[in-house]
Amino acid sequence: MNLRDTFFMARLRVMVVEDDDFTRSTVVSALQIQGVDVVCETGSVGPAMKLADGLKPDAVILDLDLGAGPTGMDLAIGLRRRYPKLGIVLLTTFEDPRLLHPKIPSPPTGTEYLVKKQVGEIELLYKSLQKAIANVSKATTPAIEKHTSPELANVTDSQLETMRLIAQGLSNAEIAKVRKVTEKSIEQTISRLVANLNLPKGAENNQRVQISKLYFRLTGSRTA
């Protein structure tokens, strides 16, 4: 990091919203090492808006998944409406935010993503903050880049939802009922999903097992 970058970081006022104590502490420590003024840190959506109103941060680093209630995306959208020039960095456990919820809304324009396992890498954290602020400082902010994991790059929202329901153990008939479509439509969706995931062809049960295993690996869980 050069002298100019250090000066840039030292002038920043940043708010951190993260419900996991360890992750929040890691982020705050990494920022403070670089001389960033962490004006506040909180673990929930509730106080975040009021804190932002009073403290007027230049940027916010917030967790996409803040537990029950409003998500980090909801907070990001609300903050950007109120503060058009606020830089936003979203922390996510998942490389594809759709794994949190298939119908998650699009992020505010110019938002940067950082996978949680990277928060200890100070240079990446710095670059994400720098880009987030630069994005909203431009006369025309850039369109948000689609943020997906390589495995899900070609998977549609509809296919991802079907993938989640397969991982829950639902049959095609049950998935069709949940999604309010025909069973034939679900069969076609699964066929396209298998192709888009580049899974080996085989009996349906084998494909369902492969789909479930991939879903669990991407979400880091044993249940969908």
Do residues 117 and 161 share a domain?
no
pLDDT above 90 covers what percent of the chain? 28
Identify the CATH number of the domain in which residue 168 sits: 1.10.10.10
Do residues 104 and 38 share a domain?
yes
More reliable by pLDDT, 98 or 185:
185
Do residues 130 and 167 share a domain?
no
Do residues 8 and 113 share a domain?
yes
What is the rounded CA–CA span in Å between residue 74 and residue 106?
10
pLDDT band at 183 (very low <50, low <70, confident <90, very high): very high
How many Cα atoms within 13 Å fall on the side-chain side of residue 95?
A: 10
Within-domain flag for 142: no
More reliable by pLDDT, 52 or 153:
52
Within-domain flag for 143: no
Identify the CATH number of the domain in which residue 72 sits: 3.40.50.2300
Question: Among 83, 112, 137, where does a domain finish?
Answer: 137
Residue range 173-180: mean pLDDT, rounded: 93
Do residues 43 and 89 share a domain?
yes
Number of domains in the chain: 2
> What local confidence, expressed as pLDDT, does residue 38 receive?
93
| C-beta separation of 76 from 109 below 8 A | no
Within-domain flag for 79: yes
CA-to-CA separations, 50 to 74, 75, 98, 219, in angstroms, rounded? 15, 12, 28, 32
Do residues 117 and 186 share a domain?
no
> What local confidence, expressed as pLDDT, does residue 102 receive?
63
> What local confidence, expressed as pLDDT, does residue 35 receive?
84
Question: Among 103, 137, 171, where does a domain finish?
Answer: 137
Do residues 80 and 16 share a domain?
yes
Residue range 25-47: mean pLDDT, rounded: 88
What is the rounded CA–CA span in Å between residue 210 and residue 123?
36
Within-domain flag for 176: yes
Do residues 72 and 177 share a domain?
no
pLDDT band at 184 (very low <50, low <70, confident <90, very high): very high
Q: What's this model's pTM, rounded to 2 decimal places?
A: 0.68
Do residues 165 and 128 share a domain?
no
> What local confidence, expressed as pLDDT, does residue 17 receive?
94
> What local confidence, expressed as pLDDT, does residue 165 receive?
92
Within-domain flag for 169: yes
Tens digits of per-residue pLDDT, 61-92? 999 888 777 788 889 999 999 999 999 999 88
Q: Give the Cα-Cα-Cα angle 126, 22, 18 (nearest 5 degrees).
A: 65
More reliable by pLDDT, 83 or 5:
83
Tens digits of per-residue pLDDT, 118-166? 777 778 888 888 889 888 876 444 444 455 667 888 888 888 889 989 9
Do residues 107 and 165 share a domain?
no
> What local confidence, expressed as pLDDT, does residue 147 receive?
55
Do residues 181 and 109 share a domain?
no
Within-domain flag for 57: yes
Within-domain flag for 145: no
Question: Among 107, 137, 167, where does a domain finish?
Answer: 137
Do residues 15 and 38 share a domain?
yes
* Paired tokens of 91: 């922390």
> What local confidence, expressed as pLDDT, does residue 107 receive?
82
Residue range 45-60: mean pLDDT, rounded: 89
All residues at 6 or more sequence positions from 129 whose CB lies less than 8 Å from its CB, including other chains: 9, 12, 14, 36, 59, 61, 87, 89, 112
Residue 185 lies in domain: 150-219
Within-domain flag for 224: no
Residue range 197-215: mean pLDDT, rounded: 80
End-to-end CA, the chain: 41
